[in-house]
Structure 1
Amino acid sequence: MHGLVPAPPANLLRDASLFLDFDGTLVEIAERPDAVRVDERLAGLLSLLFQKLDGRIALISGRPADEVRTLTGLTPLTIVGSHGMQFQWADGRRSMAPRPAALVDILQELRDLAARLPGVLVEDKPLGAALHFRQAPDAEATCIALAEGLATAHGLTLQFGKMMIEVRASGGDKGSAVRTLMAEPAFASGRPLFMGDDVTDEPGFTAAVALGGAGVLVGPERTTAARYRLPGVGEALRWLEAACKDIS
């Protein structure tokens, strides 16, 4: 969508199945992925949303699902990790795509690069390996070039994000996650609403719209498939809190 994207109305959450990105949507992006914390306000809000929406809420993150669950401390809650490749359902079911064998060699190459570039961080994920260059912005081109070469050489997917690049398993994204969730009876009765901030969230917006729902972009104006926008994390949390009150 081009041009001015309006703010979501408060009643958009009524009868919704709510899908939320994590970093940059519910919590501010930190210098390091392990520096993020979930405060009592957010934990309480997620619990309230679970109650108000009769369980029709899921977090969909590029992080590992176990990591998101540990950060939120919430059970039950459906969490999709690794860009739609790792499902932990509120009822205890779990599934994950196979870990690519090539990640052993890929991780070593990424670590060798990071050892030469101060500030570059390597993140070992269940289904991928990422380079974070937020603390070394001058290293962006070098990091992307290595990741592109490795993804091509091993037939894996290249995943761009905010100040990071990841080589990961192929076969899923946040759009496929939304479609999988909406095929479940627990979510099918709602209208999909996906909130996210990054280019990795665009497939989620597209899937939500295709299924009769909407996307909410969190962050600055840009070309997006989302129909609504909120300026940042603080505004996203305030909108969710107000929308909760609008649900009878």
Structure 2
Amino acid sequence: MQTPPRLTPDAALFLDFDGTLVGIAETPEAIEVPQGLVALLTDLHDWLGGALAVVSGRQIDVLDRFLAPLRLPAAGEHGVQRRDAAGNMREETPPDLQAVLDVANHLAGAHPDLLVERKHAAVALHYRRAPELEELCRLALLGIIAKEPRLELLHGKAVFEVKPAGINKGVAIDAFMLEPPFVGRIPVFAGDDTTDETGFAVVQPRGGVAIKVGSGPSLAQHRLESPLAVFEWLATARSVPPAPDKNTKNDPRRDT
């Protein structure tokens, strides 16, 4: 894999959150947002004419909390939720997840190192603190959704997630690319997990850039080694002159 090319003002930039913009933590709430990240994303959002979106497994309101006061276009829960550049929110209606939640809570009750995360349209079971329970978690969740075709099991880094079937980050990126200000631009997507592969499969056929963050096999043709490397790569765009129709000279949010 190659180092990704420098960002250009005609890009449509899509960024995963955990493992890409911030480091992976023991629990979802324990992550630390790097100093300067919000200011950098604010700069890039302006420089790209608004064509920057976070595409994450997190809920959008959680992303907003970590990136406050910035509210970017975003896809949450792998595309179940999507907020466009105009601020309009779209959410898929989830199937009944009570049986899944009951099984996950039962496992967590028996194994305190497991963590259950209830989302709008998904249930995530984190086993980072108990990696030896991976197969137990997988089989339990597969068993409960075996007769429910509207649900699927997603395997991420030390987490299994039951979510609506057929919705993923690639679908979300496709939807963004049909709307302003993303339409007609070159898609660029950076992500670290297996859940990001659907996004890579969308941007590369469009002539875009897919960036795998960290180690492991991937469809992506470019790689950065860590969230710090992602930050540094994004920061190189600051030295590129803004697009002709943008005037950021007097923007008080820009670093001096």
TM-score for both structures, normalised by structure 2: 0.90
The runs of 4+ residues in structure 1 deviating greater than 3 Å are: none
- 1:62-211 map, 5 Å: 62-101=57-96, 103-155=97-149, 156-211=151-206
Size of the aligned set, in residue pairs, is 241
Residue type at the aligned position of 1:204: G
Shift of 1:157: 1.0
For 1:164 and 1:207, how far apart are their aligned partners in 2? 24
Whether 2:234 is the aligned partner of 1:240: answer yes
Shift of 1:199: 0.5
The aligned counterpart of 2:246 is none
Kindly indicate whether the alpha-carbon contact (under 8 Å) linking 2:103 and 2:141 is maintained by their aligned counterparts in 1.
Answer: no
Whether 2:176 is the aligned partner of 1:213: answer no
The aligned counterpart of 2:50 is 55
Going by fraction, where is helix more abundant, 1 or 2? Answer: 1
- 1:219-238 map, 5 Å: 219-220=214-215, 222-238=216-232
Give the direction of change, closer, same or farther, for the CA distance of 1:83–1:247 in structure 2 (3 Å limit).
farther
For 2:152 and 2:197, how far apart are their aligned partners in 1? 16
The aligned counterpart of 1:9 is 5
Quick one: percent identity of the two aligned structures?
Answer: 38
Kindly indicate whether the alpha-carbon contact (under 8 Å) linking 1:76 and 1:90 is maintained by their aligned counterparts in 2.
Answer: no
SS at match of 1:186: coil
SS at match of 1:59: strand
SS at match of 1:237: helix
For 1:40 and 1:153, how far apart are their aligned partners in 2? 46
Kindly indicate whether the alpha-carbon contact (under 8 Å) linking 2:22 and 2:34 is maintained by their aligned counterparts in 1.
Answer: no
SS at match of 2:223: strand
Structure 1 gap segments, 5+ residues each: none
Shift of 1:243: 2.6
Structure 2 gap segments, 5+ residues each: 243-256
Shift of 1:247: 4.6
SS at match of 1:122: strand
